[in-house]
Structure 1
Amino acid sequence: MKYQKTALAALLLAMATSTQAGGLLTNTNQNIAFNRNFARVGAIGIDGVYFNPAGVAFLDQGFHLSLNFQNVYQTRQITSAFSIPAFANTPYEYPFTLNGGDKTDGSKFYEGKASVPILPSFQVAYNKDKWSFQAGFGLTGGGGKASFNEGLPSFERQIAILPALINQQLPTFSTLLGQQETPATSYSMQSYMSGHQYNFGLQLGVAYKINENLSVFGGARFNYIYNKYEGNITNISADVNGNNQNLYEYFGSKAKLLTEKAAALQAQAVAAKTQADAYQAQANAATDPTAKAQLQAAANQYAAGAQQASAGAKMVSAGADKLNSSKELVKDRYVEVSQRGWGITPILGIDYRTGKWNFAARYEFTTKFNIENNTKRDDTQKYENGVNTPNDIPGILALGAQYEVLKNLRVMAGYNHYFDKDARMDNNKQRFLKHNTQEFLAGVEWDINPTVTVSAGGQRTLYGLGDGKYLTDLSFVTSSYSFGVGAKIKVAKNAHLNVAYFFTNYSKFTKNYEDAITIGREQVTQPDGTISVQPKTLATKNTDIFTRTNKVLGVGLDIDF
């Protein structure tokens, strides 16, 4: 039996739990004011510590504090299908159908769920004369747990070909074991995948008000990354001989039978050789020609039997060895690994206001750093303890403007550009991006009265996904629209309550590609006559359809001292 080693996919370490559209790796929902109106870069408020830090210098003198808490719920949905042309017009052409896949197109649906019960953040500023001293904290990336309780397509593809490969070997099984084996008609497995990713960001900086119209900002964010991933593939089984059988145990039992049969044949060979030697000795000692001939014939017969039994023992033993190797390939496998790393992001900002207009810009430099594996268990031998993986945070250029239509009515617009192609990722997969991420934002705020302000906003996020090579079932995004609504309510002379809800409508991205599954190794004669051992593969045609959902409810409190 020859087929690919079953393992958790190498892209496990790329799994992220992003809680909001905002570049490929960035959470931009750092304040409830943003959740109800995404275009905050051109606005002036305490949330500006993150969105428009230069503009915070225009707030009143004294302390300003914003505390924010959000509840986030996401799903990741994948509809996946693949076919094997080599098995055309057989039950194994669309392997997923052997384990609950759609009978019409061979596809199968997978869903992962991610939740963040409480996503906290705060911003604080102290304005004194022309200076504004600021600090902010939040989860600027990740923030929760994502779980695929039924595994992923990349896991299952390796298992789905087992029935076909088992059936190719059944005649050999029947010959070696001397018993009839019936075809495998289905397969099953238990698979689990979960990932946590946290990017804790502590931002410090200072803004300076050059005059009543212009202010500038300089600061930095300290990023501490902590990721943890756990996964397993267990109980790999197939319906063989009319019963669903754990293949590790099935191959083990067959290997045991073959080992016992090989031992019996070897014993027969030894016994026959002993008899052959005895008759040969008698033949050598005999003087009567007739008796000598009879004894020699008997010696030859037993010698031939010994040779035949020995050859049979070797063939059966080789079959047992192959089954034992196959058994090891379908045993339960586990991965448990965490990662840590840190980096510092320099940040610059500027704000300019004139008349009814306010303009602002913020630039965050690309942060270069690695994260290091802390591996507790790795049955796949892919995540060596202590190995560093690139985990750069993309730079951001954020532009915004606000216009005061009326004293109590404001409209805003913004643009974010994420320099994803400059940020190193695992296996340099950023090279597959067609262009950097772009976001277009708009919002409106209306002061109903001095106590209540309502607002709404929208955001369009466009990823440069190209032909989809960047995407995997473990780590994917799709372009989206986000819509938010909420209110700011004055609850005390110096305090306002913010409440907001937003959701993201993700588009579907279809990735069609050809691939190959390794099913063993074979000897290949090169043009120069030399023989090499190369992987033996089966060509596959694959389709993955990716989409997601995202819902966020938030509440916050702004206090001025």
Structure 2
Amino acid sequence: MFKKQTVFLSLCFLTASNVLAGGLVTNSNQSASFLRNPARDAVIDIDGVYTNPAGISFMSLGFHLGFTLQHPEQERNITTTFPTLAQNINHLGESTHKFHGKASAPIVPSFQAAYVWERWTAMASFAFSGGGGKCEFDNGIGSIESIFSLLPSVAQMNKIPAKAYSLNSFMKGRQYYLGIQMGAGYKINDRLAVSAGLRAIIGTATYTGYVKDIALHAADGTKLPQAYLSPIMQAMGDPSGTGEIDMTTDQSCIGWTPVVGIDWRINDHWNIAAKYEFRTKMALKNNSTMNDFARSQPTLDKFNDRKNEKIRDDIPTTITFGAQYSPISTVRINGGFHFYDDCNTVKYNNEEELIDHGTVEFLLGAEWDATKWLTVSGGWQNTSYGLSVEYMQDMSFNCSSNMLAIGVRLKASEKISVDLGYMHNFYKDKTVETTVNAAGMELAKKDVYERTNAVFAIGVNMDF
């Protein structure tokens, strides 16, 4: 008879963390212009279809088109310290393990178009307006391995001569919110314009993970027979005795975001603008393929279509303000403020209650027309998340950051220009320390969350 110790194999396959700029599930990086100067909230340009839709009314009459291709390179690393990780056969004696997650996309496209009449403006855009992006952990994540690392201790309590463990673990998450926006603007007079639009959000996500090839090892490294492991795993709730987890879940839904804006050209030097995006209900429908042991795990309920047909992951209300000051015709200085009301969304298992305050961003930027065909620009963005310690988990974490951007606009002709931009995020590491009561032991656990992010972009703008 095997004792069922105070340890459970409750594994965490959680939402991929945000890979883009903006709030928790909001992306404000939708053009190459943003990468060369992120303070776009009061800029009058074609990318304003997203950043300043009311300002489109002040563009020249006719048709305007913008197209961008971006290439992001990102990493997310979690360094986990947990005493029993030292029992990993491949890292004996090492209680600190680094779990490396990498995400990259060859191309991320976006598109904006507008037609300007004397008073009215029609506009449309296509871009990835939110979601968590994607991340892949080839060696799994610490929250999973920490639990399996307890197996030798449980085995020893049951007179099994196990001193180490081994496993094969993998985790991948992908979440994208594709936005298709239509809108209209109206120029009240030569100084004031307003806009209204509607963005359709097509949400898709896929989560894949497994834990397999679980084994116990003797002090000399010899792999112990499966007969030693099976009774322990059966006592933990897996009739097969293998302890293997296998899961793939697809999620999808459609949401709708109303957007309103206003732009006031105070004089030839000052322009200010504001935008309000309403909260978007996102109820993602689960379609899961899971083995029985995976379906029995409470922390996998979020991805289990038999327990949750749909899960909520709303996009928050977003408020932006911007100002542009042009002391001379060839220089523009920009400032902006963003607020994402994350606390007043609806998320699975009331996760919004673990957020201390909504995401806040401050932005500064400047542009200089060095010549008739060359504009040089740069900018800064500070992003502050209000996430509690309880919110931070392996695949559901964000780190506050400072972002620097630089780039140029090359004017090929009177009708065509090319944007080249680069941005780099400097993230603040987040350390979370907890105590785990398991297998009759009280164990200290520490996780250090790190991120890197760099994005290159090229954009083409055309006026007709």
How would you bin the TM-score normalised by the shorter chain? Answer: over 0.9
Which residue identity lines up with residue 16 of structure 1 in the other structure? A
C-alpha offsets along residues 397-450 of structure 1, whole Å, 9 cap, x if unaligned?
000000002211111000000000011112111111111110000000000111
1:231 lines up with 2:209 in the alignment: yes
1:486-525 map, 5 Å? 486-517=407-438, 519=439
Which residue identity lines up with residue 349 of structure 2 in the other structure? N
Question: 2 CA distance for matches of 1:494 and 1:512?
Answer: 56
Q: Is the 8 A contact 2:229 2:242 kept in 1?
A: no
C-alpha offsets along residues 77-136 of structure 1, whole Å, 9 cap, x if unaligned?
111113xxxxxxxxxxx11112256957x3221110011111111000011111110100
The structure-2 alpha-carbon separation of the partners of 1:203 and 1:541, relative to structure 1 and needing over 3 Å to count, comes to same
TM-fit CA distance, 1:474: 1.4
Q: Is the 8 A contact 1:411 1:444 kept in 2?
A: yes
Q: Is the 8 A contact 1:17 1:196 kept in 2?
A: no
Question: 2 CA distance for matches of 1:513 and 1:6?
Answer: 18
- 1:369 is aligned to 282
Q: Is the 8 A contact 2:233 2:242 kept in 1?
A: no
- 2:298 is aligned to none
Q: Is the 8 A contact 1:506 1:549 kept in 2?
A: yes
Which residue identity lines up with residue 150 of structure 2 in the other structure? I
1:6 lines up with 2:9 in the alignment: yes
Query: Which residue of 95, 120, 127 maps to 1:131?
Result: 120
1:77 lines up with 2:77 in the alignment: yes
Question: 1 CA distance for matches of 2:9 and 2:241?
Answer: 6
- 1:345 is aligned to 257
Question: 1 CA distance for matches of 2:33 and 2:235?
Answer: 62
- 1:20 is aligned to 20
1:440 lines up with 2:362 in the alignment: yes
- 1:312 is aligned to none
The structure-2 alpha-carbon separation of the partners of 1:435 and 1:143, relative to structure 1 and needing over 3 Å to count, comes to closer
1:445-464 map, 5 Å? 445-464=367-386
1:46-125 map, 5 Å? 46-82=46-82, 94-99=83-88, 103=93, 106-125=95-114
Q: Is the 8 A contact 1:80 1:109 kept in 2?
A: yes
Question: 2 CA distance for matches of 1:333 and 1:246?
Answer: 20
Which residue identity lines up with residue 60 of structure 2 in the other structure? D
The SS at the match of 2:357 is coil
C-alpha offsets along residues 28-51 of structure 1, whole Å, 9 cap, x if unaligned?
110110111010001110000000
TM-fit CA distance, 1:547: 1.4
Please identify which structure carries the higher strand content.
2
1:268-279 map, 5 Å? none
The SS at the match of 1:151 is coil
Question: 1 CA distance for matches of 2:234 and 2:58?
Answer: 75
TM-fit CA distance, 1:514: 2.2
Runs (5+) with no aligned partner, structure 2:
296-300
Q: Is the 8 A contact 2:417 2:461 kept in 1?
A: yes
The structure-2 alpha-carbon separation of the partners of 1:163 and 1:327, relative to structure 1 and needing over 3 Å to count, comes to farther
Please identify which structure carries the higher helix content.
1
Question: 1 CA distance for matches of 2:92 and 2:384?
Answer: 32
RMSD: 2.1
Which residue identity lines up with residue 463 of structure 1 in the other structure? Y
The SS at the match of 2:326 is strand
Which residue identity lines up with residue 364 of structure 1 in the other structure? E
Q: Which moved more, 1:377-386 or 1:414-423?
A: 377-386
Q: Is the 8 A contact 2:435 2:442 kept in 1?
A: yes
Q: Is the 8 A contact 1:186 1:238 kept in 2?
A: yes
Question: 2 CA distance for matches of 1:552 and 1:324?
Answer: 45
Which residue identity lines up with residue 350 of structure 2 in the other structure? N
Question: 2 CA distance for matches of 1:69 and 1:378?
Answer: 40
Question: 2 CA distance for matches of 1:228 and 1:156?
Answer: 22
Q: Which has the larger radius of gyration?
A: 1
- 2:168 is aligned to 190
1:473 lines up with 2:386 in the alignment: no
- 2:152 is aligned to 163
The structure-2 alpha-carbon separation of the partners of 1:323 and 1:512, relative to structure 1 and needing over 3 Å to count, comes to closer
The structure-2 alpha-carbon separation of the partners of 1:323 and 1:204, relative to structure 1 and needing over 3 Å to count, comes to closer
Question: 2 CA distance for matches of 1:363 and 1:321?
Answer: 52
Runs (5+) with no aligned partner, structure 1:
83-93, 174-182, 256-319, 520-536
- 1:287 is aligned to none
Normalised to the residue count of structure 1, the TM-score between the two structures is 0.77
Query: Which residue of 136, 139, 142 maps to 1:153?
Result: 142
The SS at the match of 2:387 is coil
Normalised to the residue count of structure 2, the TM-score between the two structures is 0.92
Q: Is the 8 A contact 1:236 1:248 kept in 2?
A: no
- 1:297 is aligned to none
Q: Is the 8 A contact 1:68 1:120 kept in 2?
A: yes
The SS at the match of 1:548 is strand
TM-fit CA distance, 1:492: 2.6
Question: 2 CA distance for matches of 1:69 and 1:402?
Answer: 26
- 1:317 is aligned to none
